[in-house]
Amino acid sequence: MSTIRNQSLAPEGKLKINWVKEHMPVLNELAREFRETKPFAGLRVAICLHLEAKTAYMAKVVQESGAQVTITGSNPLSTQDDVAAALVEDGLTVHSWYNATDEEYEDHLHKTMQSEPHLIIDDGGDLVAMLHSQYPQMIDNVRGGAEETTTGLIRLRAMAADGELKIPMMAVNDAFCKYLFDNRYGTGQSVWDGIMRATNLVVAGKTVVVIGYGWCGKGVAMRARGLGARVIVCEVDPVKAVEAIMDGNSVMPMLDAAAEGNIFVTVTGCRDAITKEHYENMKDGAILCNAGHFDLEIDKGPLEELAENKRLARKNVEAYEFNGKTIYLIAEGRLVNLAAADGHPAEIMDMSFALQVEALHYLNSNHGKLPNDVLTLPQAVDDKVARRKLQAMGVSIDTLSKAQECYLTSWKAE
């Protein structure tokens, strides 16, 4: 039995899923292969991901590859109820709805875990943490899992360092075909999609402050520059700070940037990137949003305390009024690109989700042989995904001649 909001929304969800399917050629190719060979026959797969159309299509591919699939959302605001309904119609079990309370979100995770999975796809580490802390009796049955994002990997590596990780976990986020495209170009584009849909305001001429210049931050800053903004980057890593300067951004501490910015985007994967002293320094009309995994990058507590008045300014935008100024917060500080838009473009998630399905296949094919650790996908899998992407784009590349191969593997001068 599924736990969803409204089954009658299924036709709209189907349209969305069909649209992304037409733009995910690498996943389509994998689906063709696995529909024949059914590598997941007889297995139960639990998925915790942002439940929108691309995720739904990937879940359907896993199902068509033989698995029984149970899926939940990885954020209370990113589930699309019509997509959830479409999946139920197609025979998947879904436990998720848009705008879940903390208790409901937790309950949906529990219900998903109770499907007793053999394989797990996680995004942010919530499902795997729950498996270890609340369902230890199920661990022996789990062949492994695949983690989608940077924050999830930080949590998993902390578990492994404490000797607490009891299953092999594939670090899908660390594959080249994931972070180079999803984190950079995906986040870069979809964060602006979310901000523009939420505010309907111009970016050109504004000062944008990007906090965190990792793979996501680089994408967000790059697209902000492209939209005509002046970009300030705040970092704690000196190398990334130099990189940000060379890429054409200004760099300064957040307390100084707070006084200059019009739009603030946090992408640190860390807590309290924006907090009380920053709100006090901000200009009237400053817009804040977060693109990092959890909603603790913008410290909302002090904002609530400072506010003399709080009101809904627009769908997905709350206004906090204090000291004669107004600060706007988009989507409660949750992932702006998923809570206020549809997440990354389909062509980007094509590669990320092909990697996810490949990761499950790798775990299953090597069942019993892998250590209980955070593992990197083999280079051959990354190359397969990249080659299929190139093929879908109609692009061919050169290959090394025998002489070139010898030259590159030899230490002797010719």
Residues that bind ligand NAD (CB under 6 A): 149-151, 179, 183, 187, 211-217, 234-237, 240, 267-270, 273, 291-293, 335, 337
**Which C-beta is closer to ligand NAD: that of 29 or that of 297?**
297
Least CB distance from residue 399 to ligand NAD, whole Å? Answer: 32
Task: Give CA–CA dist 110/116, Å, rounded.
Answer: 10
**Which C-beta is closer to ligand NAD: that of 14 or that of 269?**
269
Least CB distance from residue 343 to ligand NAD, whole Å? Answer: 6
Beta bridge mates, 290? 266, 335
Least CB distance from residue 308 to ligand NAD, whole Å? Answer: 28
**Which C-beta is closer to ligand NAD: that of 161 or that of 380?**
161
- Rounded to whole angstroms, what are the CA distances from 292 to 86, 104, 338, 356, 360? 28, 22, 11, 20, 25
Q: What tokens does 152 get?
A: 């999830």
Residue 105 Cα to chain centre, angstroms: 17
Least CB distance from residue 266 to ligand NAD, whole Å? Answer: 8
- Residue appearing with tokens 């639990």: 46
Least CB distance from residue 297 to ligand NAD, whole Å? Answer: 8
Cβ neighbours around 385 below 10 Å, total: 26
**Which C-beta is closer to ligand NAD: that of 90 or that of 235?**
235
Strands 317-322 and 325-330: antiparallel
Least CB distance from residue 240 to ligand NAD, whole Å? Answer: 4
* Beta-carbon contacts of residue 133 (< 8 Å; ≥ 6 apart): none
- Distance, first Cα to last Cα, the chain: 69
Task: Give CA–CA dist 160/348, Å, rounded.
Answer: 30
**Which C-beta is closer to ligand NAD: that of 179 or that of 328?**
179
Least CB distance from residue 212 to ligand NAD, whole Å? Answer: 3
- Residue appearing with tokens 């705040």: 234
**Which C-beta is closer to ligand NAD: that of 120 or that of 172?**
172
Least CB distance from residue 238 to ligand NAD, whole Å? Answer: 9
**Which C-beta is closer to ligand NAD: that of 150 or that of 262?**
150
Task: Give CA–CA dist 313/124, Å, rounded.
Answer: 30
Shortest-Cβ-distance residue relative to ligand NAD = 214
* Beta-carbon contacts of residue 286 (< 8 Å; ≥ 6 apart): 261, 262, 263, 264, 327, 328
- Residue appearing with tokens 């054409």: 248
- DSSP character string of 21-46: HTT-HHHHHHHHHHHHH-TTTT-EEE
Start-end of H helices in 143-253 = 150-161, 176-178, 187-199, 215-226, 238-246
**Which C-beta is closer to ligand NAD: that of 57 or that of 213?**
213
Start-end of H helices in 265-395 = 276-281, 300-306, 336-339, 346-365, 379-393
Beta bridge mates, 264? 209, 288
**Which C-beta is closer to ligand NAD: that of 339 or that of 360?**
339
Least CB distance from residue 1 to ligand NAD, whole Å? Answer: 30
